[in-house]
A = this chain, B = another copy of it.
């Protein structure tokens, strides 16, 4: 075991800049055209995914709204989950040849992240992958707008993008302070009424994980940020139960959708170092075994919490008490933490999520390879709340069995 952490790290300086205009509520997609125009677009590339936006009529409504606003458009459809670099290259080629000046993502995180990859790639002479592997810093990007259909990734309010390189199975995330923040995001909760339960649950796990990665920090003294994070986690879990009882419950869908944005626009990280080890560990599962990101996180998060509680239980215990409703009863922090983790797993199971690799369909995981790839891609150690070496991450993957 090579664990170390510091608790003398107090509230850090920060910049919080979330300039996106969030247009939230029923029928808001009808305002898409005028929003593109408001932010200077005259010809948009509509980026979208599979059949649901076509079947639901959403794509038609967006096209109509663009037409009405006098905004021209082209399309790039068929973006898949865990989006790959090939579609980004395709988009860059499309934009360069057609005078497109605005990227309009209609979909969830995969679609938005692809649009962001195109947005920074178009204005760069080299390979857009340079930004994702850290060779270059994004200085400028085309404007991106969003019509959100899946509350999960939080990309509608973040400056981030995650793309997988098809060749080498590398899934890398790019973070920018503001260059890749969408200019606007249209968020109509009604568009999520038809989201299947499994995808709804994956989204819920993902947004909770975005909060966890910031909440579990070795930076002390950020009470404001802690209370906001705990409030969002509480809201998400309460509303999740309502959504599974009635998928067309507008308020429940709306609260989950809005929470997913606040989970990832930076608010929950203000003043502290973030962790992200769990996301990194999940990215390897996604890249190697092709699992859905949210389902993977439902397995990783509790295992990670359990492992770090062995040496640094304080914040996990705080989460257990303040979010999971555990009564401390003068017990040791680690015991309180474990009860919180147990309740979190019960919540995940209750919404149909796996909490072990076997339930993900990975019966005999190649842990050595996962660990090797993880640290090859993300360095050594990873994380902040507890810094994790390969010996640690191996243990955590084993806890997922």
Which residues of A are in contact with B by a Cβ distance under 8 Å? 10-26, 28, 178, 220-228, 230-232, 234-235, 238-239, 250-251, 254-255, 258-259, 262, 267, 270-271
Contact = CB atoms under 8 A, between A and B. Distances in A.
Contacts of A13: 24-26, 28
A298 to B, nearest CB: 21
A232 B238 contact: no
Question: Which one of A24, A28, A231 has the highest number of Cβ atoms from chain B below 10 Å of its Cβ?
Answer: A231
B22 A17 contact: yes
A324 B21 CA distance: 34
A228 to B, nearest CB: 5
B10 A21 contact: no
A254 B271 contact: yes
- Ranked nearest first, the 5 interchain pairs of A and B with the lowest CB-CB distance are A13-B25, A227-B231, A221-B251, A19-B19, A231-B231
16 contacts: A10-B251, A11-B25, A11-B250, A14-B24, A16-B21, A16-B24, A17-B22, A19-B21, A24-B271, A224-B231, A224-B235, A224-B258, A226-B235, A227-B232, A228-B228, A258-B271
A225 B24 CA distance: 13
State the number of copies, please.
2
Contacts of A230: 227, 231
A226 B258 CA distance: 12
A368 to B, nearest CB: 42
A11 B242 CA distance: 15
Contacts of A250: 10-11
A223 B255 contact: yes
Contacts of A11: 25, 250-251, 254-255
Given A10-B250, A224-B255, A232-B224, A15 B22 contact: yes
A202 to B, nearest CB: 19
B223 A227 contact: no
Contacts of A25: 11-14
A259 B271 CA distance: 12
B21 A17 contact: yes
A8 B285 CA distance: 46
Nearest to A270: B258
A230 B250 CA distance: 22
Contacts of A22: 14-17
Nearest to A185: B16
B232 A228 contact: yes
B259 A224 contact: yes
